[in-house]
């Protein structure tokens, strides 16, 4: 078989990501905000990734959609759960990975995988926003800071403050009270990172952590969360160069497998 070009599109609640593979090598990618129209976001993410790759849609052999909005991608030939895609994508980037922690916009997942990147077991928190990207987004708005700046700001903390609630609504009220009491934003942010890490570490410890541990999803860009999780799990966490693309990468790898079978 000649050249195989495929795409993976990951429609999440906060971002939509696309990856183009040519013979299993990444040639284009994009990350955009999902917004109110997941279908339009999927189309735009794919077009931006194709532009980076210098390719056109007609050349695509197969497209796999993943993420919570995967069924809103009409151009996808198949829809596959993000659990499978994050496992395969993380294994592709770091073959020694055996545990994947993914903190998405609306849920957090801990996935145990084998040496082939296949899922052995997983646990997910999708009942509560605590421990998710949405939780951090709400807190960033309350603190009037950019979400992408929270990692650096939290690193400037000099003391921990108490945030006892794991519910987003109540934690928001606590943060408002802490601001009113004159606590530094850096200290509040660091404490929020600890609260998120506590929640996710609970999932990880229940399923059992195998090394090497990799972290995927946009929250993995927040060094404060990663560091807090490393402390609670007692291990170093590997963060891929672009953790937000791991789900789309896994979808593209599955698209490549499907194209080979076609």
Q: Find out whether 17 and 245 touch, Cβ atoms under 8 Å.
A: yes
For 61-75, the pLDDT digits (tens) are: 999 999 999 998 989
What is the average pLDDT across 194-202?
92
Give me the helices (H) in the chain, please: 38-53, 82-93, 133-143, 150-154, 168-180, 185-207, 223-233, 246-261
Closest to 87 in 3D by CA, of 65, 59, 119:
119
Identify the pLDDT of residue 1: 54
User: Any idea which residue has 């055996």 for tokens?
Assistant: 98
In the chain, where are the structural domains located?
5-85+245-261, 96-239
Identify the pLDDT of residue 130: 73
Rounded to whole angstroms, the Cα distance separating 60 from 31 reads 19
Identify the pLDDT of residue 63: 98
The DSSP bridge pattern shows strands 62-66 and 15-22 to be unpaired
Identify the pLDDT of residue 224: 95
For 29-54, the pLDDT digits (tens) are: 999 999 999 999 999 999 999 999 99
Identify the pLDDT of residue 181: 95
Identify the pLDDT of residue 62: 97
pLDDT band at 258 (very low <50, low <70, confident <90, very high): very high
| Phi-psi group of 156: left, alpha or beta (phi > 0 → left; psi -120 to 50 → alpha; rest → beta) | alpha
Q: What residues form DSSP beta bridges with 216?
A: 102
Average of per-residue pLDDT values in the chain? 94
Rounded to whole angstroms, the Cα distance separating 198 from 186 reads 18
- Does 96-239 match 5-85+245-261 at the fold level? yes
What is the average pLDDT across 76-89?
97
Closest to 39 in 3D by CA, of 6, 7, 8, 74:
74
Q: What is this structure's pTM?
A: 0.93
Closest to 194 in 3D by CA, of 236, 227, 239:
227
Closest to 178 in 3D by CA, of 167, 188, 170:
188
Q: Residue 32 half-sphere exposure, CB side, CA atoms within 13 Å?
A: 21
187-210 core/surface letters (b: 16 or more CB in 10 A; e: else): bbbbbbbbbbbbbbbbbbeebebe
Arch. (CATH architecture) of 96-239: 2-Layer Sandwich (3.30)
What's the CATH number for 5-85+245-261?
3.30.420.40
């Amino acid at each position: 078989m000649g050249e195989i070009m495929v795409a993976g599109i990951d429609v999440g609640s906060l971002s939509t990501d696309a990856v183009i593979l040519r013979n299993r090598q990444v040639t284009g990618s994009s990350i955009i905000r999902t917004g109110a129209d997941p279908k339009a976001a999927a189309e735009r993410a794919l077009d931006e990734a194709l532009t980076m790759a210098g390719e056109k849609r007609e050349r695509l052999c197969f497209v796999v959609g993943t993420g919570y909005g995967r069924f809103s991608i009409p151009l996808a030939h198949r829809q596959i759960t993000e659990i499978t895609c994050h496992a395969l994508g993380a294994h592709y980037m770091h073959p020694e990975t055996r545990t994947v922690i993914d903190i998405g916009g609306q849920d957090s997942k801990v996935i145990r995988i084998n040496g082939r990147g296949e899922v052995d077991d997983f646990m997910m928190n999708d009942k509560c926003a605590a421990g998710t990207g949405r939780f951090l987004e709400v807190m960033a708005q309350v603190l009037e800071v950019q979400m992408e700046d929270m990692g650096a700001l939290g690193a400037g903390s000099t003391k921990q403050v108490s945030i006892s609630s794991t519910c987003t609504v109540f934690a928001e009220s606590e943060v408002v009270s802490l601001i009113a009491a004159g606590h530094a934003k850096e200290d509040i942010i660091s404490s929020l990172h600890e609260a998120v890490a506590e929640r996710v570490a609970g999932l990880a410890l229940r399923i059992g952590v195998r090394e090497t541990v990799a972290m995927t999803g946009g929250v993995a860009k927040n060094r404060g969360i990663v560091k807090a999780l490393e402390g609670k799990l007692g291990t170093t966490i590997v963060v891929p160069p672009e953790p937000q693309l791991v789900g789309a990468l896994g979808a593209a790898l599955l698209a490549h497998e499907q194209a080979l079978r076609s």
